[in-house]
């Protein structure tokens, strides 16, 4: 009886081994780099509930996620804005993104500059600790900790120079900025001041306008008005920016 039991047990173990071999899980392939990058952006789009946007947050992880997202926004803003004639010194001149104030982006902007282009133009990042250091750029991001007086001075001095002025303080667009970041439902959103864009002779894609909260008298733009203010944007081919990617 003992020998019979041992034989039965051995047979059962043999069947278990063969069954395990048949049902072994397949090796999972690593996701493509683009999928990983989109996942990082989407994972970072939520700001901790109850905390304001900006570097005044104490959690460095939240700060890093916030400014990774904002760096991606700046890149996509530039893709969907057309600058006036003479804004670039030549066909091969770079598009310059400037940061006024203490740079909160880490290496996020540099990574974009090293890996992306806009209309075949290279991207260059410049940093200005103060307004006195300012040199011409196409996009200027004004950090939250730049004093309101300095912000107002920058808005006044750069008015009409064709600069896409982007800020993150609550009244930035009301005071003359073109685009301002804000937080809604724990997500980073943006608003656009169409009058400020017209002042800078910037043509903003109607697709970008449709994703923004509009500031000023033009709370709602008809299609005709949007087409007059901006362009229709780039073709929706590979790599096109559409609602839901990478931020919405």
**d(Cα 243, Cα 182) in Å, to the nearest integer?**
18
Q: What is the pLDDT of residue 24?
A: 40
Q: What is the pLDDT of residue 135?
A: 96
For the whole model, what pTM was predicted?
0.68
Q: 163 or 19: whose pLDDT is higher?
A: 163
Residue 242 lies in a domain: no
Residue 109 lies in a domain: yes
Neighbours of 47 (CB within 10 A): 23
Residue 13 lies in a domain: no
Tokens, residue 74: 């700046």
Q: How confident is the model at residue 217 (pLDDT cuts 50, 70, 90)?
A: low
Q: What is the pLDDT of residue 112?
A: 97
**d(Cα 233, Cα 81) in Å, to the nearest integer?**
8
Number of domains in the chain: 1
> Residue 194 sits in a domain of what CATH number?
3.40.50
Whether the predicted pLDDT of 231 surpasses 70: no
Residue 195 lies in a domain: yes
Whether the predicted pLDDT of 219 surpasses 80: no
Task: Give Cα separations from 122 to 40, 89, 92, 224 (angstroms).
Answer: 24, 13, 8, 33
Residue 245 lies in a domain: no
Residue 24 lies in a domain: no
- Report the Cα–Cα distance between both ends of the chain, in Å, rounded: 70
**pLDDT tens-digit profile of 49-99?**
333 444 444 444 555 689 999 999 999 999 999 999 999 999 999 999 999
Domain of 71 in residue numbering reads as 31-229
Q: What is the pLDDT of residue 47?
A: 36
Paired residues of 214 in beta bridges:
192
**pLDDT tens-digit profile of 1-36?**
444 444 444 445 444 434 444 444 343 344 443 433
Q: What is the pLDDT of residue 65?
A: 87
Q: What is the pLDDT of residue 50?
A: 31
Mean pLDDT of 41-48: 36
Q: How confident is the model at residue 221 (pLDDT cuts 50, 70, 90)?
A: very low
Residue 21 lies in a domain: no
- DSSP line for 213-247: EE-SS-SS--HHHHHHHS---S-S-TT---TTSS-
Q: 48 or 28: whose pLDDT is higher?
A: 28
**d(Cα 140, Cα 126) in Å, to the nearest integer?**
9
Q: What is the pLDDT of residue 156?
A: 97
Whether the predicted pLDDT of 194 surpasses 70: yes
Residue 133 lies in a domain: yes
Rounded percentage of the chain residues whose pLDDT exceeds 70: 61
Mean pLDDT of 112-139: 97
């Amino acid at each position: 009886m003992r020998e019979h039991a041992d034989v039965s047990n051995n047979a059962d173990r043999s069947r278990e081994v063969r069954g395990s071999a048949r049902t072994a899980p397949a090796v999972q392939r690593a996701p493509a780099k683009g999928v990983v990058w989109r996942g990082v952006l989407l994972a970072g789009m939520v700001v901790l509930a109850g905390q304001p946007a900006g570097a005044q947050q104490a959690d460095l992880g939240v700060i890093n996620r916030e400014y990774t997202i904002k760096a991606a926004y700046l890149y996509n803003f530039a893709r969907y804005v057309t600058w006036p004639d003479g804004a670039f010194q030549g066909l091969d001149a770079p598009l310059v993104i400037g940061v006024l104030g203490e740079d909160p982006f880490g290496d996020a902007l540099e990574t974009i500059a090293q890996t992306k282009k806009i209309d075949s133009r290279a991207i260059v990042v410049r940093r200005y600790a103060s307004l006195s250091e300012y040199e011409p750029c196409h996009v200027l991001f004004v950090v939250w900790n730049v004093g309101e007086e300095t912000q107002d001075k920058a808005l006044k001095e750069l008015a009409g120079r064709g600069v896409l002025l982007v800020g993150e303080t609550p009244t930035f667009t009301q005071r003359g900025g073109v685009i301002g970041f804000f937080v809604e439902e724990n997500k980073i959103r943006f608003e656009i001041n169409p009058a400020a864009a017209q002042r800078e002779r910037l043509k903003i894609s109607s697709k970008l306008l449709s994703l923004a909260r509009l500031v000023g008298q033009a709370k709602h733009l008809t299609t005709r008005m949007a087409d007059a203010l901006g362009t229709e944007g780039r073709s929706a081919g590979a790599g096109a920016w559409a609602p839901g990617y990478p931020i919405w």
